[in-house]
Amino acid sequence: MTGGVHKERALPEGAAVTRLGPSPTGFIHLGNLFMAVVNRRLARQSGGVFFLRIEDTDQKREVAGAVEGIIEALGYFGIVFDEGAAGQGSGFRIQDSAGREKGKENETGQEKGDYGPYRQSERGEIYLEQVERLLDEGKAYRCFLTEDEIAAIREKQEAAKELPGIYGDYAVWREADAGLVAEKVSAGEPYVVRLDAGRAGKGFRIQDSGNGITVVDGIRGELRLPVNIMDVVLIKRDGLPTYHFAHVVDDYLMGTTHVVRGEEWLSSLPVHLMLFDALGFEPPTYCHTALLMKEDGESRRKLSKRLDPEAALSYYITDGYHPLAVEEYLLTLINSNFEEWRLANPELPNSEFAITTEKMGTAGMLLDIDKLQDVSRETLARVPAAELAGFMLDWAKRERADAFEVMGQNMDVLTAALDVGRGGEKPRKDLVYAVQIFDFISYFFDEFFHMEDALPDSITEAEARTLLDGYLADYNHGDDRELWFEKIRGLAEANGYAAKPKDYKSNPDLYKGHVGDVSAVIRRALTGRINAPDIFEIQQILGEERTRARLG
């Protein structure tokens, strides 16, 4: 472990070192996954490193088991870290981009990598070492303002319509007598450590003649931002660092080259750059993404963790969206040219597509569940049936114990059911996500078979029984497809139905209906539905005994 020592990484030129830094204060959300996909791509495609850092300095809000939840949820979507924190209570599987297990589980609670600890709560001595240096250099100071005093300052600033915060003349402890400070520390009075923006700003290498700072953002290009004037808190009263301070120290010591985060952090960028400068650290390239948005009536708003169930990764895990489909959808949001690339390269794995920060948009990204489902249809059409069957079994093990038992005992039927109509030049593309898929194929299993649809209005129960009895009388499970269909045509004609739909359309008064109506009756008896895939294939999967039982 390097701890507080900066050590250059032995990586190829241009390699990106990226990280995901979730806070274990609640559920993990789609924005976390979006950032994980971007960061992983930037690292992997450049021969770099992608690591997980748990930013757990807000211990009052920490949720028990949240770290394990983060790791397991990301693992479902194939997010594997080269370095970083691990769960304390359970190992996590290493998976590929399709969600398949690649190797053994990590040892429980063991970190990977030489740049830890990878939990900020375990890096306290490192932060104190750095803040002591800032205190010694006069770039930080101990502030003993009480909550009541800060509230009074804020009240005064509001009355004067001034910028709220501790800065300038309001920073009353900036130039405090050293003896008084030492006396208060010895007496055990609580304090925070603040950045002295006045002194730290004088050495600000990227300040531009008092007119602000010019920053090149990896996504947004050149930005003009105001210089920070706030004496922000670096160390809180509980001795833990703020996000501002901890992430600056950690990103430098861990060798982070690119920080990808949402545009809501743009206003904090001057603070972070000033901290890098005050510490004498080279800053990474910051890349501020657009926000995930949702249509709300005729307008759009930011996707809300509180209001929108689809913001939580559990939404996609519970419904059983395939991780590869979700990744493909996110890539359409990450780079606008991905869809064009996919059309030109339908069979290539998406790992062949290289993302660029320059092609990431700056306008709000619309989360469109309908589009996700369209992408999922296309994606699952490329996933082999046997692999898809394994995915369905994993889903059922988590979400549907009854289905898990039945499917697990009939893997050959499950695989065949998922493969119906997927061959040929125009394969079926009607499999979307696990809940929908199971509902779609459930009739293959007797335990879940039920009569879902009514007969067509033109056919009575008695007429249906006559047609089914006639079909059974001539049924031979060994017939090939051509002979099988000729028998259905013959059955139709024998019972007053046109052998071809066009014949019925030309002379509707001559017939009860057409061969399609007869097929609908057979299909309903076999599947419980009027609309279902190819009857012949369904019969082959069900087998002769089950086919006769359903028709009888």
Q: Where are the domains of the chain?
A: 124-289, 397-551
Return the CATH fold of 124-289: Rossmann fold (3.40.50)
Query: Can you tell me the mean pLDDT for 429-458?
Result: 96
- From 6-10, 318-322, 476-480, the region with the lowest mean pLDDT: 6-10
Contact residues for 502 (Cβ-Cβ < 8 A; gap 6+):
none
| pLDDT for 206 | 57
Q: State the pLDDT confidence band at 3, using cuts at 50, 70 and 90.
A: low
DSSP 373-436: HHHHHHHHTTS-HHHHHHHHHHHHHHH-HHHHHHHHTTHHHHHHHHHTT--SSS------SHHH
High-pLDDT (> 70) share of the chain, %: 93
pLDDT digits (tens, 9 = 90+) for 363-406: 999 999 999 999 999 999 999 999 999 999 999 999 999 999 99
Beta-bridged to residue 183, according to DSSP, are none
Indicate the class that CATH gives domain 397-551. Answer: mainly alpha
pLDDT in tens, 297-347: 889 999 998 899 999 999 999 999 999 999 999 999 999 999 999 999 999
Quick check: pTM over 0.85? yes
Taking alpha carbons only, the member of 203, 286, 217 closest to residue 251 is: 286
Cβ pair 497, 513 in contact under 8 A: yes
Three-state SS string over 165-230 comes to CCCHHHCCCCCCCHHHHHHHHHCCCCCEEEECHHHHHHCCCCECCCCCEEEEECCCEEEEECCCCC
Read off the pLDDT of residues 254-280 as tens digits, 9 standing for 90 and up. Answer: 999 999 999 999 999 999 999 999 999
What is the per-residue pLDDT for 426?
Answer: 84
For helices 30-44 and 66-76, angle between their N-to-C axes, nearest 10 degrees: 60
The mean per-residue pLDDT over the stretch 111-123 comes to 93
* CB neighbour class for 176 (10 Å; exposed up to 12, middle 13-18, buried from 19): middle
Listed in sequence order, the DSSP H helices in 77-164 are: 124-136, 147-159
Structure confidence at residue 210 (pLDDT): 63
